[in-house]
């Protein structure tokens, strides 16, 4: 006989963990008790030595689907002879410090009931259990029970109540438990305002079949849906939504339907079918197919994740366009009234219901590589924390601006928020402020310090400043790329100094100029800027973000100003200026601006180099959305190209070693005139950047002795570059790390800011 005192850290509350264990122990003939604690759960187990060790071994594998076990700590003790196994109350007065589960897709058991005509929840669109259903998006307050969710108005019927109180039942303590007799109601609302309550999903399906566009209320907001198999229908949606070329996401009934459109490896299938159900960027079977959905070689696809979604497919309809219901760059619509007023001009019907969404939460988006690499971390992942190796004070970090998130910390946990969007939009900013309050309440956090970006005009910085002043909380300003670097370090549990390749679009540097092609070295305490790229002049400033032909002309003029064949320059320049996307008079003005160096702010952002090259190559000359030039360039690049352009380097007046891209642009121009295929030129361009990355890291390693490299910043959303740079650096004997728990783009910034602020606080003490 033996006894073990076990402490479990992770998401083990509100996920049916204690009853699950209660059911498990019988098989192992174990006595003792289990209770919730501030860090998770605590158990005392006694029994035959073999049984107890088997039980502990199996804890990690045999657990309720929603439970996340981060750490198990087990101490042996002399058994005291329990006669039973009990669930005992939590320590009185102990501060509840529980994690909140993200929203989880409908489980197989619930799906079985959903399609079983003899079940009382047959085709009931709100079926859920302890193992699945809404969580984060319905929780208003803690402790997590039905009263503090948007399920509060629905009073459980006796049948549901029985399940809820029966420890042997799958719905024991499932807070959103409900049925057709007591739960929320789905209805289909026609454009004329008439509502169908009887088989509303059937009515929606019929509308979709006919090619209509309908709004569908999901977990964290509304989607706009239409058939994906007929380009004409999605064209109407594109027109009404005023969304020109931005790709749509698709929802497929099952993996069979996915395979008809995209290649799907086992690893990709696993991610696609995981309980978080993210949108996964999958490679099309044929690059030219489904161009009405996405112009590039990938399509974002997800599987159904709520019972409502499962009811939207039929023998005929296996694939739907499923795009967030928002207008221009506003946040996704999540309230019924708002949907009715804002979407009436866009959709022909509404599939909606009377359960409120408390928290707006977009679909998450991931590259399938390496088991999942975030483009957007949101539904299914938020508010799951990043667990640290050692505790930190309570802090708030306010992130960047365009891909806004915030992070709050408490002990060993950092809670990065869901994706919030562009704060320049007033509703997103409002949501940002509200969500900070909401998270602070849910996790009972009172920040002792606030961190923000160095950029004073970012609305996240404005918020941080106001709050710091109003509440007398110290404010720490963090340089953008330093935050990216420390974010990636934290993501990989690194604390010792590293080299950081931080490539992104824009971020304010310490010297007041725009940075973004950075080679840094340091840690949370500080950094040194060892390398960057030759600054790119942006004629017209912000105008050059979308009118990327301006950047193309800028690179070209600079590259040929002192060197190279003016004839080549002119021929390539003409190709740009003769493009229909480039206004005739505009091109003339831009050349004059460049020549006189007027209104041409310099930027060393890697994103600008991508834009300019994309424009020179004719891949994209006017971007419809931020980053389009870079995305299409990556999609255009052919595989297997091993060559590159010449790269120059020079040291600037501050000792920063800069990549001189002028020889590369001259090489590119010659290739264009020699009719070298665009696919090859695009690949050669990215291979050049790869060689630059390796060259700079070797240079920094020689200077500093560091040999670990973190890759961060929006440019590393480019899979070609991420893979190529990783391989090239590994070949040089460097250890390479990239993001896996948070996004590499500006969504990841708040995590880095927070860790830097924590370090500065520690030093002050
Ligand atoms: Zn379920
Ligand atoms: Zn009921
Ligand atoms: Fe950035």
Query: 351: CA distance to ligand 1 center in Å?
Result: 22
Ligand nearest to the CA of 169: 1
Ligand nearest to the CA of 401: 3
Ligand nearest to the CA of 64: 1
The pLDDT tens digits of the residues spanning 419-462 come to 999 999 999 999 999 999 999 999 999 999 999 999 999 999 99
Q: What is the mean pLDDT of residues 270-286?
A: 96
Query: 157: CA distance to ligand 2 center in Å?
Result: 4
Q: What is the mean pLDDT of residues 248-260?
A: 98
Specify the pLDDT at position 93. 55
Band of pLDDT at residue 244, cut at 50, 70 and 90: confident
Please report the beta strands in 249-361, taking only residues with DSSP state E, as ranges in sequence order. 249-252, 279-283, 298-302, 319-324, 349-353
CATH code given to domain 385-491+745-764 = 3.30.420.360
Q: Is 209 left (phi over 0), alpha (psi -120 to 50) or beta?
A: alpha
Query: 149: CA distance to ligand 3 center in Å?
Result: 35
Specify the pLDDT at position 94. 55
The pLDDT tens digits of the residues spanning 121-133 come to 999 999 999 999 9
Q: Are 217 and 339 in contact (CB under 8 A)?
A: yes
Specify the pLDDT at position 168. 87
Specify the pLDDT at position 40. 80
Ligand nearest to the CA of 163: 2
| Lowest mean pLDDT segment, chosen from 137-151, 521-535, 718-732 | 137-151
Quick one: how far is CA 757 from the chain centroid? Answer: 23
| Lowest mean pLDDT segment, chosen from 162-176, 303-317, 346-360, 743-757 | 162-176
Specify the pLDDT at position 92. 53
Specify the pLDDT at position 389. 84
Q: Are 398 and 753 in contact (CB under 8 A)?
A: yes
Q: Please state, in angstroms and as integers, the Cα–Cα distance from residue 387 to each residue in 71, 417, 622, 739, following that order.
A: 10, 14, 42, 14
Q: What is the mean pLDDT of residues 517-542?
A: 97
Does 503 score more than 80 pLDDT?
yes
Quick one: how far is CA 151 from the chain centroid? Answer: 27
The pLDDT tens digits of the residues spanning 369-425 come to 988 999 999 999 999 999 888 899 999 999 999 999 999 999 889 999 999 999 999
Query: 591: CA distance to ligand 3 center in Å?
Result: 29
| CATH architecture of the domain with range 2-87 | 2-Layer Sandwich (3.30)
Ligand nearest to the CA of 164: 2
User: Taking the alpha carbons of 754, 715, 370, 62 in that order, is the dihedral positive or negative?
Assistant: positive
State the residue for tokens 């980053």. Answer: 627
Largest CA distance in the chain: 93
Q: Kindly report the average pLDDT of the chain as a whole number.
A: 95
Specify the pLDDT at position 572. 97
Which residue(s) pair with 709 in the sheet?
499, 736
Q: What is the mean pLDDT of residues 536-544?
A: 96
Query: 42: CA distance to ligand 1 center in Å?
Result: 26
Band of pLDDT at residue 60, cut at 50, 70 and 90: confident
Q: What is the mean pLDDT of residues 530-534?
A: 98
| Lowest mean pLDDT segment, chosen from 16-20, 281-285, 595-599 | 16-20
- The DSSP H or E segment spanning 629 is helix 628-636
The pLDDT tens digits of the residues spanning 460-469 come to 999 999 999 9
Query: 180: CA distance to ligand 2 center in Å?
Result: 6
Higher-pLDDT residue of 585 and 690 is 690
* Angstrom distance (rounded) from CA 380 to CA 308: 17
Does 53 score more than 80 pLDDT?
yes
Is-cis flag, bond preceding 53, omega within 30?
no
CATH code given to domain 533-695 = 1.10.357.160
* Angstrom distance (rounded) from CA 535 to CA 650: 12
Q: What is the mean pLDDT of residues 642-659?
A: 97
* Angstrom distance (rounded) from CA 45 to CA 630: 57
State the residue for tokens 């309980």. Answer: 275
Q: Return the CA Rg of the chain.
A: 28
CATH class of the domain defined by 186-366: alpha beta
Ligand nearest to the CA of 129: 1
Q: Please state, in angstroms and as integers, the Cα–Cα distance from residue 453 to each residue in 178, 385, 477, 750, following that order.
A: 45, 22, 5, 9
| Every domain of the chain and the residues it spans | 2-87, 186-366, 385-491+745-764, 533-695
CA nearest 407: which of 345, 465, 350, 487?
487
* Angstrom distance (rounded) from CA 628 to CA 623: 5
The pLDDT tens digits of the residues spanning 543-558 come to 999 999 999 999 999 9
Specify the pLDDT at position 469. 98
Does 676 score more than 90 pLDDT?
yes
Query: 339: CA distance to ligand 2 center in Å?
Result: 28
Query: 173: CA distance to ligand 1 center in Å?
Result: 13
Q: Are 54 and 169 in contact (CB under 8 A)?
A: no
Query: 365: CA distance to ligand 2 center in Å?
Result: 35
Question: What secondary structure does DSSP assign to 685-740, as a single string?
Answer: HHHHHHHHHHHHHHHHHHHH---EEEEESGGGG-HHHHHHHHHHHHHTT-EEE--S
Query: 353: CA distance to ligand 2 center in Å?
Result: 16
* Angstrom distance (rounded) from CA 729 to CA 648: 19
Q: What is the mean pLDDT of residues 101-126?
A: 97
The verdict on pTM exceeding 0.75 is yes
Question: What is the SS3 assignment for 609?
Answer: helix
Q: Are 132 and 113 in contact (CB under 8 A)?
A: no
Band of pLDDT at residue 323, cut at 50, 70 and 90: very high
Q: Are 694 and 649 in contact (CB under 8 A)?
A: no
């Amino acid at each position: 006989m033996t006894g073990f005192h076990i402490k479990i850290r992770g998401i083990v509350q509100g996920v049916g963990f204690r009853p699950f264990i209660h059911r498990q122990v019988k098989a192992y003939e174990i006595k003792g008790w289990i209770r919730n604690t501030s860090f998770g759960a605590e158990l005392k187990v006694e029994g035959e030595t073999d049984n107890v060790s088997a039980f502990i071994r199996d804890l990690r594998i045999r657990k309720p689907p929603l439970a996340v076990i981060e750490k198990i700590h087990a101490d042996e003790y002399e058994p005291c002879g329990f006669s039973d196994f009990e669930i005992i109350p939590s320590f009185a007065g102990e501060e509840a410090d529980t994690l909140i589960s993200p929203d989880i897709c409908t489980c197989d058991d619930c799906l079985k009931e959903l399609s079983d005509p003899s079940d009382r929840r047959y085709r009931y669109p709100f079926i859920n259990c302890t193992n699945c259903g809404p969580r984060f998006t319905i929780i208003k307050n803690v402790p997590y029970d039905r009263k503090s969710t948007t399920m509060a108005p629905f009073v459980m019927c006796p049948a549901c109540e029985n399940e809820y109180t029966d420890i042997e039942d799958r719905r024991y303590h499932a807070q959103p438990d409900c049925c057709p007799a007591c739960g929320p109601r789905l209805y289909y609302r026609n454009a004329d305002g008439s509502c169908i309550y009887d088989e509303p999903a059937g009515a929606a399906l019929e509308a979709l079949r006919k090619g209509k566009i309908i709004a569908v209320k999901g977990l964290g907001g509304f989607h706009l849906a239409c058939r994906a198999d007929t380009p004409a229908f999605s064209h109407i949606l594109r027109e009404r939504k005023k969304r020109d070329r931005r790709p749509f996401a698709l929802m497929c009934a099952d993996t069979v339907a996915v395979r008809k459109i995209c290649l799907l490896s086992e690893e990709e299938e696993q991610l696609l079918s995981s309980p978080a159900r993210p949108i996964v960027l999958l490679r099309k079977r044929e690059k030219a197919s489904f161009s009405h959905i996405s112009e590039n070689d990938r399509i974002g696809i997800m599987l159904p994740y709520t019972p409502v979604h499962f009811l939207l497919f039929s023998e005929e309809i296996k694939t739907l366009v499923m795009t967030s219901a928002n207008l221009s760059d506003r946040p996704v619509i999540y309230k019924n009234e708002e949907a009715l007023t804002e979407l009436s001009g866009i959709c022909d019907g509404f599939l909606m219901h009377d359960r409120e969404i408390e928290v707006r939460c977009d679909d998450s988006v991931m590259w399938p590589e390496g088991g999942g690499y975030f483009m957007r971390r949101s539904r299914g992942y938020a508010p799951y924390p990043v667990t640290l190796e050692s505790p930190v004070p309570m802090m708030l970090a306010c992130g960047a601006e365009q891909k806004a998130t915030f992070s709050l910390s408490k002990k060993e946990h950092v809670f990065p928020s869901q994706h919030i969007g562009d704060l320049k939009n007033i509703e997103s900013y409002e949501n940002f402020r509200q969500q900070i309050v909401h998270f602070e309440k849910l996790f009972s956090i009172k920040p002792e310090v606030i961190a923000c970006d160095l950029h004073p005009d970012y609305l996240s910085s404005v918020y941080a400043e106001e709050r710091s002043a109003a509440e007398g909380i110290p404010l720490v300003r963090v340089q953008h790329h330093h935050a990216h670097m420390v974010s990636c370090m934290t993501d990989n549990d690194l604390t010792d100094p590293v080299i950081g390749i931080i490539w992104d679009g824009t971020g304010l540097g310490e010297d007041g100029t725009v940075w973004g092609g950075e080679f840094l070295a340091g840690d949370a305490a500080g950094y040194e800027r060892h390398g960057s790229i030759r600054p790119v002049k942006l004629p017209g400033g912000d105008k050059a973000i979308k009118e990327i032909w301006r950047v193309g002309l800028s690179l070209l003029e600079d590259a040929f100003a002192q060197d190279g064949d003016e004839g080549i320059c002119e021929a390539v320049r003409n190709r740009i200026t003769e493009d229909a996307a480039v206004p005739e008079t505009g091109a003339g003005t831009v050349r004059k601006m460049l020549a006189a160096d007027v209104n041409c702010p310099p930027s060393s952002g890697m994103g600008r180099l991508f834009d300019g090259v994309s424009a020179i190559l004719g891949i994209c000359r006017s971007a419809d959305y931020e980053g389009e030039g870079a995305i299409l360039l990556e999609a255009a690049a052919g595989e297997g190209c091993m060559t590159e352009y010449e790269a120059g380097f020079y040291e600037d007046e501050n000792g920063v070693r800069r990549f001189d891209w002028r020889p590369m642009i001259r090489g590119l121009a010659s290739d264009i005139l020699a009719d070298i295929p665009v696919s090859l030129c695009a690949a050669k361009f990215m291979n050049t950047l790869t060689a630059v990355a390796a060259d700079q890291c070797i240079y920094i390693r020689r200077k500093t002795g560091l040999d670990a490299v973190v890759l961060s910043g929006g440019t590393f959303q480019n899979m070609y570059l991420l893979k190529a740079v990783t391989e090239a650096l590994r070949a040089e004997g460097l250890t390479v790390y990239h993001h896996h728990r948070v996004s590499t783009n500006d969504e990841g910034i708040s995590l880095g800011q927070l860790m830097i602020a924590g370090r500065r606080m520690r030093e002050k003490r």
